């Protein structure tokens, strides 16, 4: 009887530890998923100039890559799809926020969705 009680108590403790770890993991995951942002300034650029649009896009891309972190170097020439998706989503959100036709058109060309200008 005493052995059975010890087994049940041990199982209960193990279960509580698992539940506690699951809660900590969920909390850490939620914190990691908080959206980050970087302000990309472009008041020095004139978006009616194609070179300045390209310059802004380059700044946006660099900011997106900074937010998403460095790609996994252990993968060699292969790019982690999750990292690429993070960068692409961040760039897309930034382009929408800029809300300028020339920037949107440039973004579409970068995605291969419209003919080159």
pLDDT in tens, 71-82: 776 666 777 888
pLDDT for residue 22: 58
Question: How does the average pLDDT of the chain come out, rounded?
Answer: 81
Note the pTM of the prediction, 2 decimals: 0.66
What are the pLDDT digits (tens) for 8-37? 676 667 665 555 565 555 554 444 455 688
The b-or-e profile of 82-105 (16+ CB within 10 A means b, else e) is: ebeebbeebbeebbeebeeebbeb
pLDDT for residue 71: 75
Cα 3 to Cα 57: distance, rounded to the nearest angstrom:
68
pLDDT for residue 25: 57
Q: What is the 3-state secondary structure (H, E, C) of 22-75?
A: HHHHHHHHHHHCCCCCCCCCCCCCCCCCHHHHHHHHHHHHHHHHHHHCCCCHHH
The residue assigned the tokens 């960068």 is 87
Q: What is the mean pLDDT of residues 46-72?
A: 93
The residue assigned the tokens 């929408």 is 96
């Amino acid at each position: 009887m005493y052995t059975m009680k010890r087994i049940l108590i041990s199982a209960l403790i193990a279960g509580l530890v698992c539940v506690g770890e699951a809660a900590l993991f969920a909390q850490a995951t939620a914190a990691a998923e908080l959206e980050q942002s970087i302000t990309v300034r472009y008041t020095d650029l004139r978006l009616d100039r194609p070179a300045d649009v390209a310059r802004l896009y380059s700044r946006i891309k660099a900011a997106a890559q900074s937010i998403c972190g460095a790609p996994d170097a252990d993968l060699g020439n292969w790019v982690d799809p999750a990292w690429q998706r993070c960068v692409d989503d961040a760039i897309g959100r930034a382009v929408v926020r800029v809300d300028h036709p020339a920037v949107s058109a440039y973004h579409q060309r970068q995605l291969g969705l419209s003919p080159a200008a």
